[in-house]
Every structure is written in C-alpha cells, then in structure tokens.
Chain A
C-alpha cells in the first residue's frame, strides 16, 4: 500500500510573482500577491480557499499570517518546514488531505524579499554548539564537503560542475523571467571567485526576491477550473539528518528513497520523464539527484551531463527555467520547481517549451541534503 492515490488530485493554477528584484515589498506581500494571482487565474477568490500551506523565510507562524492577510478561514493550516523542500511536502500533504475530504481547495504559497532586504541568503540553519567555532559557512560549506567527497570517491573533476552551471544558464537564456541570462562560458565558470572548494559563486544559487503560489483540488473539480490540470501521480519525502556531519554517506542523498516511492506510486521509471526540475541550490545537487533518482548509476552523472546533455537540445531537459543557479532563488526554491513543471505540462513555457511534455518530475531539497521530496506530475494523457 503506497498511501497515495495516483491522479486523485491536481494543480489547477501555478504562478510566479515578483521574480528577481521586488524592492519595497515584504515577504508576506509577495506571497499574498502570488496567491491572489494564482486564484484569480481560475476565477477563485481567497475566501474559496480552505487549506493553506506556506513557509516564509523568517516567519515560523506564516500559516496563520497568510490566512489572516488573505481573509481565509482554514480547515487545515500547514507550516511544515523542511527547508527548500517544504513545498513538495506541502503538495503531498495537500493531496492526502484533499483525497480524504479534509479540505477542498488548497493554496500553497511562498515569498521572499531577501535580495532587496538582506542582500544575502536568509537561512533557517541555527548555530550548532559542536560546530560553530570552525566557521563552516552554511549552507555552502556543507555542500562543499559533500562535493569534495563525491569528486574524490568517483574521480570526477570540476568540469562536471561546470556542465551543470552552463546548462542552467543556457536554459535561462530562453526564459525572459530568469535573473542571469548573459552567456556563461567554461572560461567564465573557471574564473569565478571561489567560495568554499570546490564551489565558486557560479556553483551557488542566486539570491533573488520572488514569490510563487499553486492551487490544488481533487481531480473531478480540477477539470471545471482549469483547461489543462496537472495531476499529481506520486509524491514522497524522506528526511535522514539535519546537519551534514550526520549524513550517512555524503555521496548519496535520501532522494534514493523519496524518488523510488514516488515513482512506484505513479507507476513510472526515470526514462519516462519529459521534463526534470531538480532543486539546484548548488551544482553538486544536480549530479547527486540525477544518480539518486535513477537517471544514471552512482558515479556516472559526470558522463550523463557531459557535452550539454541536460542543456537545451540535449538528451534530458533538466531545470528548464534556468534553475536556482540562473533563474531565481529567493531563499527556498522548492515551489518554483513545481511551477516550472506545470508551465511545461500546460504548454506555456514559451521559447524553452519542451515539445509534447506529458510527464514531469519536481524534486525538492532542504537543509544540507537533509530533506528530499519528489513529485511526479502528469498531463491528462498520463492518467
């Protein structure tokens, strides 16, 4: 028993809002702006919502705040925070609650003004009494430790990380909403300022403002609200640690578990996907997730991405909006993987549209490879 009913629920609206720089707005204003935009697209008002899922960067009770701000009386309020993967877990919980009849219209929202307000990544990571004095910059230093271990174990060089960064930039060049669109060459990649070996600024996600919102209903109602609902075919999460020192193997993430369970629920295999949206907080993430989700074997991601194979026109369309590396990363990126998957499955992705996209993967990562959450999304043809 998988505990998840394939295609029982659907995303009926998905939008971004205030991407890039949105000076003068609070995180709540951006999240609420995205919410009303997503609702209006399908003719709903805030008072039609009865379940709210949200995690704002610096507001642990943002579920209460967003309900109040929008004027929603909720039956279900979920502030679940598993870092950047929070929003994939929200979608899983929303699907289960909708299917059980605990709610009828679920709103999942996020917003952050961290580029304009703070100018740096706002992180929920707290000082660790056993670790803080060694001055590991978090989260980048933790991902750097995983990267050095991975490069060491599998004889991989920074060329593989460069492929990921350059592919993301080439997708971003097709996306008018992406924050960094100027060409990134291999020379440009290698000239970038080193932050924590082997990760330079070009291996790190952007710090932008931005917001996003999606609306979910049961599948039956979805067909009345949206021309092209995007069905949730599978969704699974796995958490195994918080801080990198407690990660069982720095070269293997819990995406092995979340992916396998989500794919079993959906009845799909890695080779079935048309579009793959992976949480690329750092370039190393893409290599590990491609392996852990089964697109290639452990240690083979460098070959899998080589020669532009995940760039536009390549073998597999990965991070088609430009990802957290080149499109947007307002602190937590998980919801943006879902929105881009919906854009692709509804045929609204413009110049970056993947032809006949029917099946998409949206994968969230939180903390320091701590939380993994995988969604399998499909168009009506996949039901």
Chain B
C-alpha cells in the first residue's frame, strides 16, 4: 500500500486506532514523520507498515507551569524501528519519567483528534 498523501493518511490510520510508519521497500528504512520520499535516499517506494509500538525514552523534560496548573512531561521516544518522535508518557508522575525507560504506544481518541501517547512498558 503506497503512501500518496503522507500526512493525511497517517492521521487517518491513527483515527482508526492504527499507529503506522512508512518503510521503503527498496532500502528497508523506516521514516517518521511521514514524507513523500525517504530522507537522504529520496526513495519514493514508501509503504505503510504497522509500528511495533515499542520504544525507549531518548530524552525527557518536565514543563513547569504557574500553580495551580500542573507540571507535565514531554519526551522524545526512540521507536524500536529507529525513528524518534515527540510524545508524552502517561500513567507515571512527570518527574518519574527517565531516559532509558521502556515504553509502549497507546492511541487516545480525543475531541481534537487521535493522539499517540506512551505508557511504561511491562518489564
């Protein structure tokens, strides 16, 4: 299934509960965010494949707000397939999110649209 409209199709998949990545048939490289060609090689034979959903926290920060607004975490997750993406880790206090933590993807269906988040992975 080639990707013709990368951004539209990514979010359409997410709305249907599927976290999909692009992979080049010729190079095997995974691509995120979705594009019309693989960065560097320019390969246009990008196909949608379901992500494993597994990843590791590569970098994290706690954003501090003026009270009473609560602090929250933002992370850079390195997916098992290689690409990194910005997200957050739910189900754990912001200060307890650590680099190296193994996480698993969840898709939340919210009024603003589907949202990819991560939760701590079972050891």
Interface residues of A (CB under 8 A from B): 128-131, 133-137, 141, 144-146, 148-149, 152, 193-198, 243-246, 250
Tell me the smallest distance from the CB of B43 to a CB of chain A, in Å.
Answer: 17
Task: Please tell me which stretch of B15-23, B47-55, B56-64 contacts chain A, meaning at least 4 of its Cβ atoms lie within 8 angstroms of it.
Answer: B56-64
Which 3 residue pairs spanning A and B have beta carbons closest together?
A: A144-B61, A145-B59, A149-B59
| Chain B residue contacts of A197, Cβ below 8 A | 61-62, 64
Q: Which residues 73-123 of B sit at the A interface, judged by CB distance below 8 A?
A: 74, 76, 84-88, 99-100, 112, 115
| Chain B residue contacts of A194, Cβ below 8 A | 62, 64
By beta carbon, the residue of chain A nearest B7 is A129
Question: What are 14 A-B pairs at a CB distance below 8 A?
Answer: A131-B86, A136-B61, A145-B60, A145-B61, A146-B59, A149-B76, A152-B99, A194-B64, A195-B64, A196-B63, A196-B74, A245-B86, A250-B58, A250-B76
CB atoms of A148 and B59 under 8 A apart: yes
CB atoms of A130 and B85 under 8 A apart: yes
Q: Looking at the complex, which one of A133, A244, A246 makes contact with B115 (CB distance below 8 Å)?
A: A133
Bound-complex Cα distance A194 to B64 (A): 6
* Interface of B: prevailing SS: strand
**If A130-B33, A133-B115, A149-B99 touch, does A196 touch B61 (CB 8 Å cutoff)?**
yes
Bound-complex Cα distance A145 to B58 (A): 9
| Chain B residue contacts of A198, Cβ below 8 A | 61
Bound-complex Cα distance A259 to B114 (A): 43
By beta carbon, the residue of chain B nearest A153 is B99
**If A130-B33, A245-B76 touch, does A137 touch B58 (CB 8 Å cutoff)?**
no
Tell me the smallest distance from the CB of A294 to a CB of chain B, in Å.
Answer: 25
Q: Looking at the complex, which one of B33, B74, B84 makes contact with A134 (CB distance below 8 Å)?
A: B74
| Chain B residue contacts of A133, Cβ below 8 A | 112, 115
Given contacts A128-B86, A130-B86, A149-B59, list 5 more A-B pairs with CB under 8 A: A130-B85, A134-B87, A141-B74, A145-B74, A197-B62
| Chain B residue contacts of A134, Cβ below 8 A | 74, 86-88
Interface centre among A145, A195, A244 (most CB of B within 10 A): A145
| Chain A residue contacts of B62, Cβ below 8 A | 194, 196-197
| Chain B residue contacts of A141, Cβ below 8 A | 61, 63, 74
| Chain A residue contacts of B112, Cβ below 8 A | 133
Interface centre among A133, A198, A243, A250 (most CB of B within 10 A): A133
| Chain B residue contacts of A128, Cβ below 8 A | 86
By beta carbon, the residue of chain A nearest B87 is A134
Bound-complex Cα distance A62 to B112 (A): 36
CB atoms of B58 and A149 under 8 A apart: yes
CB atoms of B99 and A136 under 8 A apart: no
Tell me the smallest distance from the CB of B48 to a CB of chain A, in Å.
Answer: 16
By beta carbon, the residue of chain A nearest B66 is A193
